Structure 1
């Protein structure tokens, strides 16, 4: 009893450090049933649920930036209380963890109720004027787990932890990650969905965001014709996350939808800029704050290929391939528009917002591509120059990251053909002969002429290009190396990549080994090319 009181006291100290300001599970309707049995949950935005206690938790890594953002210190992170709270083994005093209810369209089809099947929200924290929701992924069963166990494994947890923080430092709107821990339990998973399951190390990530609300959070109530809960949730969202729009009204709801579209467009253009492919752009994975959410079978382009998807589940349809991501955002916004329509009842106004979004897609992409090419001035042939580049890029396997980063070294006043400047980006340099070589030389001639219209000199242009073309991204093979090492108890690669990816645009002399094409051994290796949704 005395030890239990001491543990509660430690958690109370941590509680006093964290400025808990729960709103979601106080202001919104809750599931009336408290059991974790799988079921449909009507008329509720969430279900109260406690995380599962684990066998022997071990903290592997903590993000110093997110510690600070929450008002915590390194000393806090080293405490037993921190370990227990952020592995789900203790609940912060005066808090009520919960799993959120939502639905979604998956691969173009309505899937009905989905919800937080392996995520449990611990609390909301306010610090320095910002509110953060703390969510454990892999912390056990919820009413939304369906046939799954609500747990996560080390490989997917490492990928989410590293990628969410890497994306932040790339300047991509994203959820964040606070901590990565082993649960000490073994979790059964069929990684390739081929009927050969095996046990893997269980793990838990604490991910953090201002909100984990997604398009599907609103779709579920519209689908159920539960207009009361839909209105309650939308009004809550306006109050907490879009207060500048004013009091709820039809005009406010329209403006709300418009801003979600603008934020989503900004997000997907950043994806295109750095070569990130989400892999599972279902409406339940679309944040209403325009954040990258749910790091499952994602990947970065190795060869510049508009048709590439990292998701084995999507390998046939390729719905979520790199080249279609902006259009998929539009399709998902259309589904959100249908969900919000009962509150607005103005088809033309919603259609106009969607039309404007479509009109902006091409313009936004051209602006983004011009920034990657170091082009600032306006020229009527810029779109053609970009189109011709993308055509020749895809005629041979050309590494996206290396190509654009090295392109900054091109000199507009030199007589070189330009191919030698970016030659390291080719996976098969011997293929660049004949008509293909001529096509590359022709493009560089046009690029040189276009650069002559730019005011900045070569050095200034390179500096500008290097701020939008990263040198380091979390390629799948890099994440897999961290996973393979961690499986053997070596967590140093996690730390190495975490540090590396905090400065993705900088020249890091001691990290040049990571500025390289995907090694051939990783081309078809599980986890290094395509991945499943298995976690």
Structure 2
């Protein structure tokens, strides 16, 4: 196994001079050198061949002892020195101070085909940023991260990737929903892959400590290596950087809303400067369309990170990044201009996304009303988001309102809830929808084809992940392999996978892991 190593982050940015691996405050450093803890009996459960190929590895490499040892943390790859990142953040709207990689250790950077990647082990042991935690991860949460990161990629959602999922051979103590009943679970390690793991909180840490020297070093490094197309200098360079982070973050949120993904814990330390989904913890997928739903038990009271609030939280987080970058710019007005444009730009991008979901190409002023009335209708009774939008493409221009309604009625969890008033409102909506699609020049066939490319048939529903976890706990990984392969083609019909195109089963409605998840998930 041969990787093309590049250690620019550790070569160009300041290290923590203290190499004692105990929880502590780390000052004037971007990272701390930290070795993974050797697992007792590592074994490979699954690896993504596509991610392996992206970093220059083959299928043969995946099956090698070197792969197992390197990506389980058993051995350190030659010419590398693993490290944990230092950063801070706002958690649930409150300043938390220094946080850092508490259960993640960056192995190295690699280059392949002129692209740079950082390889990071999640769950490989404690770091100086672990605080009161042990730095390990369990099979349950590791399966969720491995499957979802790759599922999101194939959905077209910006995301970190997952190279491998391994068992450590060790037991890890966890309290699944923080109810005072901890239990031992199988330990596991995921290798995450991203351009870098620099976060909003990376800049917040230095700004909060008024360490403007290292704040500038980090910003200059980030732009040089990850935004090298920015050719401006001085203040304009940092503004261009912030503008791009704002736009890519906005794009990511629009994709989340498109597929019904709820991150669950959008703290500023969980926001990537690359505008990619990072840190798959208590995430979830909308089953019924419910803008107030959050999967995170920690957020169950205030629902700060609920589905419908994700666009606003992204903006709030961008404000915190702007505050962190302000010392490099010394002028609030251009930052405010970028931030003020976010809401307008988001509404425009959201409208375009929803028009695509509904099969509209031409611009019509009434589309805003049609979309708003639809989302209100979807919330009146439990309506499966994925099934509704996927089946909507089966509606034709010739259909009556009743025929069109029948095309999507499988999306309702209980037809008994559809009283006369709601049925009339749906009838009225489909009357408007019929008029609207008849204004389009494209054929029913083309419209369906286009809609089916933005409305997935298969997503990683919460109960599917839990079934996979339950089987894996018994050493059965067949379902994991099946789901992984299916989720690589989420927009295809895949007749052999039709059973997964179904509403959430009743047993999963309130089951831990399916509807309720904690930050240990």
TM category (shorter chain) comes to over 0.9
1:442 to 428, 432, 439: 428
Structure 2 residue aligned with 1:322: 307
The reply to whether residue 503 of structure 1 matches residue 489 of structure 2 is yes
Instruction: For 1:245 and 1:296, locate their aligned partners in 2 and report how far apart those are by CA, in whole Å.
Output: 33
The reply to whether residue 368 of structure 1 matches residue 353 of structure 2 is yes
Structure 2 residue aligned with 1:11: none
Structure 1 residue aligned with 2:212: 227
Matches within 5 A, 1:159-170: 159-170=144-155
Instruction: For 2:211 and 2:492, locate their aligned partners in 1 and report how far apart those are by CA, in whole Å.
Output: 51
Structure 2 residue aligned with 1:8: none
Structure 2 counterpart SS, 1:59:
strand
**CA displacement, residues 60-119 of structure 1 (integer Å, 9 cap, x when unaligned):** 001010111011111111111110110000000111000000000000011000000000
2:77 to 84, 87, 92: 92
The reply to whether residue 55 of structure 1 matches residue 37 of structure 2 is no
Residue pair 1:235, 1:248 contacting (<8 A) in 2 also:
no
Residue pair 1:170, 1:470 contacting (<8 A) in 2 also:
yes
Shift of 1:247: 5.3
**CA displacement, residues 139-174 of structure 1 (integer Å, 9 cap, x when unaligned):** 001000000000000000000000000000000000
Structure 1 counterpart SS, 2:141:
helix
The reply to whether residue 213 of structure 1 matches residue 198 of structure 2 is yes
Instruction: For 2:41 and 2:15, locate their aligned partners in 1 and report how far apart those are by CA, in whole Å.
Output: 32
**CA displacement, residues 15-51 of structure 1 (integer Å, 9 cap, x when unaligned):** xx21011111111000000011110000000000100
2:480 to 483, 489, 494: 494
Structure 1 counterpart SS, 2:128:
coil
Shift of 1:416: 4.6
Structure 2 residue aligned with 1:386: 371
What is the aligned-residue RMSD (CA, Å)?
0.7
Structure 2 residue aligned with 1:433: 419
Residue pair 2:401, 2:434 contacting (<8 A) in 1 also:
no
Shift of 1:534: 1.1
Instruction: For 1:414 and 1:476, locate their aligned partners in 2 and report how far apart those are by CA, in whole Å.
Output: 34
Structure 2 residue aligned with 1:533: 519
The reply to whether residue 402 of structure 1 matches residue 387 of structure 2 is yes
The reply to whether residue 203 of structure 1 matches residue 177 of structure 2 is no
Instruction: For 1:75 and 1:381, locate their aligned partners in 2 and report how far apart those are by CA, in whole Å.
Output: 56
Shift of 1:358: 1.6
Shift of 1:530: 1.7
Residue pair 1:401, 1:471 contacting (<8 A) in 2 also:
yes
TM norm structure 2: 0.99
The reply to whether residue 412 of structure 1 matches residue 397 of structure 2 is yes
Structure 2 residue aligned with 1:41: 26
Instruction: For 1:247 and 1:376, locate their aligned partners in 2 and report how far apart those are by CA, in whole Å.
Output: 37
Instruction: For 1:517 and 1:18, locate their aligned partners in 2 and report how far apart those are by CA, in whole Å.
Output: 43
Shift of 1:204: 0.1
Aligned residues: 520
Instruction: For 1:461 and 1:365, locate their aligned partners in 2 and report how far apart those are by CA, in whole Å.
Output: 19
Matches within 5 A, 1:517-532: 517-532=503-518
Matches within 5 A, 1:31-430: 31-246=16-231, 248-417=233-402, 418-430=404-416
Shift of 1:414: 2.1
Structure 1 counterpart SS, 2:471:
helix
Detail structure 1 runs of 4+ shifted over 6 Å in the superposition.
none
Structure 1 residue aligned with 2:459: 473
Unaligned runs of 5+ in 2: none
**CA displacement, residues 448-485 of structure 1 (integer Å, 9 cap, x when unaligned):** 01111111111110000000000000011000011000
Residue pair 2:5, 2:79 contacting (<8 A) in 1 also:
no
Shift of 1:425: 0.3
Shift of 1:433: 2.8
Instruction: For 2:60 and 2:433, locate their aligned partners in 1 and report how far apart those are by CA, in whole Å.
Output: 54
Structure 2 counterpart SS, 1:472:
coil
